[in-house]
């Protein structure tokens, strides 16, 4: 039985590699690695199917280096140490440092990544990691600081077309079939910039029938039967899409917000995760401009927990549109951040004023705790002017009302009415 097309077509040399011209093109960094015969530890970051593993193998082949591989899915600290020991035994006087390739390095926990650190620091191995996740989130700082990070991009339609042409003209199995390409839109759309996915689709098309094959939008759609999901709820697109969703709500665009909500739900995102983000949005970005937003977001969170999908999509959509079209204010968010920043750097001893302290013992009372405290409800309007800040912070302001919306205009007016010029 023939190997999968993606394996049969895997490039062996850098000149056969399609895409990532910013890395492998003329003057690209990987060209320099091969020309200088010198390569540092590095991490390849990019979506699936863009050639991370292939590029690592090409570097090893071109440099004629010993090449060890581990999968972070199936390997632990024991396997890492065994491979490092084997790599060390490969080294002789003036011999080149072996390469250790770790696929899905983001799946290694801290102790597993720590087990690599010593060998990388001592130059016993050159580490090549591959990840679909942002390395700054998933790779420990000491290891990340010793590796260059190179970003790989999804293939564009021109590169997919080049790959398709190569497959049809060079693969011995495909050359045995009479294949006519009339349309590529569906083929490239389902591939989604993923070279391996494109070649897997070709495998599906050729295995589904015998004899001549016509590739067009309908045959591709019929063969696949359903859209290949482009949203990876556990991967980089998870972070990109939720970021776009949040920014669309913050930016008051309900149509974009609903679009990203639909992408997440269609991709299998956990509805409760989205509901939690809506609660945070209501507090951080709408806040005092519309306090009802937090009430609705909390009701949404509770409802999503109770009813689940598919009905939860309606509640999520209602809340998303409400928050997106609501007036915005981050004044409460900014106030607590400003106060926390002040407190974290404040080295001055600032005792709580005596009149605000609770006199729970006779000694405390004799020391003046609670003396002269004015109970606000004893005064007209439930307010009486007195000092609540420590003596050395009188008049210090942390909350700055956003007076571009009516709700906080009223809040600002009340503060001024009660406190006059104190907090201007």
Q: Round to whole Å and give the CA distance between 130 and 66.
A: 18
- The number of CA neighbours under 13 Å toward the Cβ of 244 is 15
Same domain, 299 and 371: no
For residue 124, what is the DSSP state?
A: S
Tokens 């002789």 sit at which residue? 92
- Contacting residues for 9 by C-beta, under 8 A, at least 6 apart: 163, 166, 167, 170, 171, 199
The verdict on residue 333 lying in a domain is no
Domain edge (last residue) among 93, 120, 151:
151
What's the domain range around 179? 157-224
> Which tens digits make up the pLDDT trace of 79-128?
888 888 888 887 766 678 889 999 888 888 888 888 899 889 988 899 99
340 in a structural domain:
no
Q: Indicate if 18 and 129 belong to the same structural domain.
A: yes
Which residue stretches of the chain have pLDDT < 70?
A: 1-2, 92-94, 225-238
> What is the tally of structural domains in the chain?
4
> For residue 226, what pLDDT is reported?
47
Residue 106 within a domain = yes
**Structure tokens that stand for 369 in this block:** 């705790």
The predicted model scores a pTM of: 0.56
49 and 106 together in one domain: yes
Cβ proximity of 239 and 134 under 8 Å: yes
Cβ(254)–Cβ(321) below 8 Å: yes
**Are 124 and 25 within one domain?**
yes
CATH number of the domain that residue 299 is part of? 1.20.272.10
SS3 (DSSP) at 71: strand
Cβ proximity of 292 and 340 under 8 Å: no
CA distance 80 to 73: 12
Q: Which residues contact 59 (CB under 8 A, 6 or more apart)?
A: 30, 33, 34, 39, 65, 99, 128
Domain membership of residue 231 (yes or no) is: no
Statement to judge: residues 374 and 246 lie in one domain: no
For 32-70, the pLDDT digits (tens) are 999 999 999 999 998 888 899 999 999 999 999 989 988
């Amino acid at each position: 039985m023939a190997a999968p097309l993606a394996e049969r077509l895997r490039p062996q040399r850098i000149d056969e590699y399609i895409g990532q011209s910013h890395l492998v093109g003329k003057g690209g960094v990987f060209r320099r690695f091969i020309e200088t015969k010198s390569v540092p530890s590095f991490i390849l970051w990019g979506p699936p199917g863009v050639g991370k593993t292939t590029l690592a193998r090409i570097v090893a082949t071109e440099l004629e280096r010993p090449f060890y591989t581990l999968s972070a899915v199936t390997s632990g600290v024991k396997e890492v140490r065994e491979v490092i020991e084997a790599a060390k035994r490969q080294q002789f006087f003036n011999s080149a440092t072996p390469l250790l390739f770790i696929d899905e390095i983001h799946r290694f926990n801290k102790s597993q990544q720590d087990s690599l650190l010593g060998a990388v620091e001592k130059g016993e191995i050159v580490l090549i990691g591959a990840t679909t996740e942002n390395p700054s989130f998933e790779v420990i700082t000491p290891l990340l600081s010793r590796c260059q990070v190179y970003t790989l991009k999804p293939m564009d339609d021109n590169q997919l077309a080049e790959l398709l042409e190569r497959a049809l003209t060079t693969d011995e199995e495909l050359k045995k079939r009479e294949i006519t390409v009339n349309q590529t839109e569906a083929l490239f759309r389902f591939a989604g910039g993923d070279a391996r996915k494109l070649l897997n689709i070709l495998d599906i098309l050729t295995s589904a029938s015998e004899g001549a094959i016509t590739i067009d939008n309908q045959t591709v759609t019929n063969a696949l039967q359903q859209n290949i999901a482009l949203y990876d709820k556990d991967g980089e697109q998870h972070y990109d899409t939720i970021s776009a969703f949040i920014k669309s709500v913050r930016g008051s665009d309900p149509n974009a917000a609903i679009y990203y909500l639909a992408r997440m739900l269609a991709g299998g995102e956990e509805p409760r995760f989205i509901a939690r983000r809506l609660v945070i949005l209501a507090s951080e970005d709408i806040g005092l401009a519309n306090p009802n937003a937090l009430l609705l977001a909390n009701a949404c969170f509770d409802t999503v927990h109770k009813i689940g999908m598919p009905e939860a999509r309606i509640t999520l959509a209602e809340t998303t549109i409400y928050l997106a079209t609501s007036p915005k204010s981050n004044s409460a968010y900014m106030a607590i951040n400003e106060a926390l920043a002040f407190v974290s750097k404040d080295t001055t001893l600032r005792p709580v004023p005596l009149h605000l302290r609770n006199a729970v013992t006779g000694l405390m009372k004799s020391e003046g705790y609670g003396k002269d405290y004015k109970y606000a409800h004893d005064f007209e309007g439930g307010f009486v002017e007195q000092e609540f800040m420590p003596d050395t912070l009188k008049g210090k302001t942390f909350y700055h009302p956003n007076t571009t919306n009516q709700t906080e205009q009223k809040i600002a007016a009340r503060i001024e009415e009660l406190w006059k010029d104190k907090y201007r």
